[in-house]
Structure 1
Amino acid sequence: MRRRLTLLVAATTCLVLLAFLVPLAVLLRDAAADRAAVAATADIQGLVSLVGTTDAAGLGLAADQVGAMGGRPVTVFLPDGSALGTPSERTAGVELATRGESLTVAGPEGREILVAVQGRPDGTAVIRTFVPDAELTRGVYRSWLVLAGLGVALLLLGLVVADRLARSLVAPISELSSVSLRLAGAELTARARPSGPPELRAVATALNHLAARIQELLREEREQLADLSHRLRTPLTSLRLESESLTDPEEAARITNRIDAVERAVTGLIRQARRRGATEAGTGGPVGAEAVCDAAEVVRDRVAFWSVLAEDTGRTLTVDLADRPLPVRLPADELAAVLDALLGNVFAHTPDGVGFSVTCVPMVGGGALLTVADAGPGLPSAVLDPAALVERGASAGGSTGLGLDIARRAARDSGGQLELASGIGGGARVALTLGPPTRSPAHPPA
């Protein structure tokens, strides 16, 4: 934008200078020519009174003197055809002037000035002088150089002013762009400094108001999430008390384990909301800090929890886990919530007795590949694009449509992605690539 504004001012200045300097240059040229012609005419006007009163010898001497003083040839053509003064040919202009008309004839080498003198008894005499082009354009080229220098100086001055003006406009716009990018990068504390023209100051103020409003809305959302999670603790506590009153120890232990899982999920939501709030406020820990967990251990723990329900519903569970730690760039509670959402979909959308498998293997370059596949009816036939099922709130099975979106966002936050496809032998297959930590942890993740 700065370059375009400078070019615009340069083009406008050039047009104005051309419209002003070109006519002025032509005027200077014509004025110099007219000045030389007037001076030559004034020189030969002194001979007019001598033509009718002085003899030929005196008239020739006077013509020579006038020519020598003016530096131009002066010739007097008498009616009898004789010529006095500087020798010169009898041109067509001289013949025309003998009719009693004074005139100026422009030629290829200069101007011929002819003055007709009447009153002689033998006819009309003609006084002729010649002004060469060098005299007609004397000082013109120097004046043109001065004008050209003035034009260049004005153009440079205009460019300097245009650059200052463009800088005053571009600097606030660049700052607004920088602040917008920082806000897009979740740095919600970024603010623009209102500067520049009133319109840009208004935009900066509106951007700051928008950032403040986004912070306020996110803070309200986190508070509502924390409040909702906290409210769930009361019914969970009631369920725990009821489970402890069961007479069957195995049933009481099974219900208690499930209550513990729900409490962990609720606690994870609260911690996640606080962690995001602290990060947006700029107090989320040192720069570059990231959450890391051992994907193999988290998957092993959650599979052990869901294996009890799989046994109760007659499902065959196949597990393939790495025998070494698999650090990934994701908190343990978020990875547990992802696996719970995917396994919950298996139990919710496939009939009892349908088997499923869970694999978590290392990837080349670090990270892990988590796959959940089942032998159920597969993806809905009405869904042509499997990616449409991952959209938040989209569900072809009557559920909330949040499980796959949770998994997709978790994979994206870790630097990976989610793939949804049909299995080789039927059923559905969900594969998550989980990125490795950007820095190796000091201690293996627990």
Structure 2
Amino acid sequence: MRARLALLAAAVSVLTLVAFLVPLALLVRTVAEDRATVRATADAQSLVPVVGTADAATIRLTVEQLAADSGRPVSVFLPDGTVLGTPVPRTPAVALAARGQSLTAESAGGREVVIAVQGLPDGTGVIRTVVPGAELTAGVGRAWLVLALLGMLLVVIGLVVADRLARSLVRPISELSAVSHRLANAELDARVTPAGPVELREVAGALNHLAGRIQELLAQEREQVADLSHRLRTPLTALRLEAESLGDPQDAARITAAVDGLERAVTGLIRQARRQRPTAAPTGCDAAAVVADRVAFWSVLAEDTGRTVHCALAAGPLPVAVAADDLAAAVDALLGNVFAHTPDGAPFTVRLAPVAGRSAGSYGQVLLTVADEGPGMPPDTVRRGASTAGSTGLGLDIARRAAEAGGGRLELRTGPTGGAEVLLWLTPRATPTAA
């Protein structure tokens, strides 16, 4: 934008200067020609009294002296055909002046000035002088050079002024852009210093107001989520007490472990809600260990509901670029969907294996597959909040965001038996080196 404004100022300056300097240059040349012609005419007219009253010898001496002083050729044509001064042939202009008409005409050597002298005894005499081209244009080149330098100076000044003006416009715009990018990167304390024209200052004030309002809304949302999560601690405490009072130690341990997992999730939710700035990327985890742990947890519930679990989990370690809590939440969401949206007794399969050579984009990734033999689900269910079974519609979105946070992705498709098949592609922490 700064370069374009400078270019626009240069174009306007050049056009303006051309519109003024070209006519001025032509005027300078015209004035120089007229000035030289007036001097030559005055010199020639000074001979009129001499030609009308003096004898031939006096006229010759006066003409020669005038030619020497002016540096121009001067000739006097007497009525009897005598030519005094510079010997030249009679020109059409001289012939016309012999009839009593003084004039100025252009010739090959310059500008010809002829003056008729009437009242002589034998007729009309003619005084002729020629203004050479060098005298007609004397000083014109220097004047044009001065005008050209003046024009260039004005263009440079215009460019400097335009650059300063463009800088005063571009700098606030660049600051607005930088602050908007900082806000997009969750730096909500970024603010713009209003500067520049009134319109830009208004935009800066509006952006600062928007940033402040967003900060207030996010703070309110964090507090509301934190308060809601904190309220869950009371029923969790009650569940823990109920679990401890169970007579079967295995059931008590199982329910207590579930309550502990739920409490950890609530604690993580509170911490995340109160987080002011994005933290560093997760360090990752062993996908084999996390998936095996969560499948073992859900296998107990599968046994209670008469479901058959087919597991094909690769031996670890399988390091992936997803935090352990996030991956556990994703696995819980996928397996929770199986129990929530398929009838009791419907079997499901969990597979975890490294993938090599599937395609250039997925080489070396780890694939987690959860497939069931239920009624299936439409592909658009992966949208956040989308659900066709009366749920919150957040389970698949949790899994998707967990995978994408580590550079992976989520796919949803229909399995061979018509049930749902969810593929969670996980990117390893260290990219393998090709052999």
Could you say which residue in structure 1 is the equivalent of 2:359?
A: none
Alignment of 1:37-186 (within 5 A): 37-186=37-186
Query: Who is 2:368 aligned against?
Result: 370
Alpha-carbon distance, 1:291 to partner = 4.2
CA contact (8 A) 2:188 2:211 kept: yes
How many equivalent pairs are there?
426
Displacement of 1:168 in angstroms is 2.2
Percent of aligned pairs with the same amino acid: 67
- Measure the CA separation in 1 of the matches of 2:151 and 2:320: 68
C-alpha distance in 1 between matches for 2:273 and 2:321: 18
Structure 1: gaps (5+ residues): 381-385, 440-446
**Which amino acid in 1 is paired with 2:150?**
L
Match of 2:211 in 1: 211
Structure 2 length as normaliser, TM-score?
0.90
* The one of 394, 397, 400 aligned to 2:392: 400
2:403 maps to 411
Deviations 1:161-184 (A, max 9, x none): 222222222122212211211221
Paired AA for residue 406 in structure 1: I
Q: Distance in 2 between matches of 1:177 and 1:108?
A: 69
Change over 3 Å in CA distance of 1:434–1:109 after alignment to 2: farther
Give the letter for the 1:231 counterpart.
Answer: R
State the 1:377 CA deviation. Answer: 2.6
Amino acid aligned to 1:194? P
Instruction: Look up the equivalent residue of 2:240 and give its one-letter code.
Output: R
Give deviations 1:301-333, integer Å, cap 9, x for gaps: 211111112112222212222322233333322
Helix, strand or coil: the match of 2:53? coil
Residue number among 294, 311, 314 corresponding to 2:286 in the alignment: 294
Q: Structure 1: how far apart are the matches of 2:374 and 2:382?
A: 19
1:19 Cα deviation from its structure 2 partner: 1.6
Whole-Å separation in 1 of the counterparts to 2:168 and 2:364: 49
**Range with bigger deviation, 353-362 or 302-311:** 353-362
Q: Is the 8 A contact 1:78 1:125 kept in 2?
A: yes
Query: Partners in 1 of 2:207 and 2:151 — Cα distance?
Result: 43
Match of 1:383 in 2: none
Greater CA drift, 30-39 or 190-199: 190-199
Moved more, 391-400 or 430-439: 430-439
Partners of 1:419 and 1:125 lie apart in 2 by 114
Aligned to 1:304: 296
Provide, for residues 212-247 of structure 1, a one-character-per-residue CA deviation record: whole Å limited to 9, x for no partner: 222222121111111111111222223333444455
When residues 438 and 194 of structure 1 are mapped into structure 2, their CA distance, relative to the original with a 3 A threshold, is farther
Q: What is the 5 A alignment of 1:6-17?
A: 6-17=6-17
Cα deviation per residue 1:82-128 (whole Å; 9 max; x = unaligned)? 32211112111122222322111123441111111112232222111
Contact kept, 8 Å, 1:326 with 1:367, in 2: the verdict is no
CA distance in 1, matches of 2:189, 2:320: 29
* Equivalence for 1:191: 191
CA contact (8 A) 1:293 1:327 kept: yes
Q: Distance in 2 between matches of 1:54 and 1:175?
A: 90
* Residue identity in the other structure for 2:123: G
**1:289-368 to 2 correspondence within 5 Å?**
290-362=282-354, 368=366
Aligned-pair CA distance for 1:159: 1.4
DSSP-derived class of the 2:195 partner: coil
Question: Is the CA contact (8 Å cut-off) linking 2:384 and 2:394 kept in structure 1?
Answer: yes
For 2:397 and 2:96, locate their aligned partners in 1 and report how far apart those are by CA, in whole Å.
Answer: 104
CA deviations on 1:13-55 (whole Å, 9 max, x unpaired) are 1112112211111111111111111111111111101121112
Moved more, 106-115 or 232-241: 232-241
Tell me the distance in 2 between the aligned counterparts of 1:44 and 1:424: 118
Amino acid at match of 2:137: T
User: Which residue of 2 is the match for residue 391 of structure 1?
Assistant: 383
Shift of 1:134: 1.0
Once residues 216 and 325 of structure 1 are traced to their aligned partners in structure 2, the CA distance between those partners, rounded to angstroms, is 44
1-side partners of 2:371 and 2:385: how far apart? Answer: 22
Gaps of 5+ in 2: 357-362
Code of the residue aligned with 2:146 in structure 1: it is: V
> Which of structure 1's runs of 4+ aligned residues deviate more than 6 A?
none
Q: Contact conserved, 2:286 with 2:316, CA < 8 A, in 1?
A: no
The separation in 2 between residues aligned to 1:251 and 1:46, in whole angstroms, is 138
Q: Any idea what SS the aligned residue of 1:79 has? A: coil
Deviations 1:381-426 (A, max 9, x none): xxxxx2x322212223332221111122222212221112222443
State the partner residue of 1:3.
3
Question: Would you say the 8 A contact 1:316–1:354 is kept in 2?
Answer: yes
SS of residue paired to 1:189: coil
1:253 is displaced (CA, Å) by: 4.8
Give the distance between the partners of 2:430 and 2:170, measured in 1 at CA. 36
Contact 2:75/2:129 (<8 A) preserved: yes
- Once the two structures are overlaid, the 10-residue window that deviates more, 240-249 or 92-101, is 240-249
Q: How far off its partner does 1:255 sit?
A: 4.2
Instruction: Let me know the Cα RMSD of the aligned residues.
Output: 2.3
CA deviations over 1:338-364 (Å, ceiling 9, x no partner): 111111111222222222122233356
- The amino acid across from 1:428 in the alignment is A
Matched, 1:433 2:420: no
The superposition leaves residues 41-87 of structure 1 with CA deviations (integer Å, 9 ceiling, x where unpaired) of: 11111110112111223222222221111111111122233322111
1:18-33, aligned counterparts within 5 Å? Answer: 18-33=18-33
Separation in 1, partners of 2:214, 2:351: 40
1:52 alignment partner, SS class: helix
Sort the Cα spacing of 1:300 and 1:214 in 2 relative to 1 into closer, same or farther, 3 A: same
2:185 is matched by which residue type in structure 1? G
Summarize the Cα distance change of 1:434–1:208 in structure 2 as closer, same or farther, 3 Å threshold.
Answer: farther
Preserved contact between residue 109 and residue 130 of structure 2 (Cα < 8 Å): no
Structure 1 equivalent of residue 222 of structure 2 = 222
User: Where in structure 2 are the equivalents of 1:211-250 lying within 5 Å?
Assistant: 211-246=211-246
Q: Could you give the per-residue CA deviations for residues 270-315 of structure 1, whole angstroms, max 9, x where no partner exists?
A: 23223x32x35xxx5xxx5634332222211211111112112222
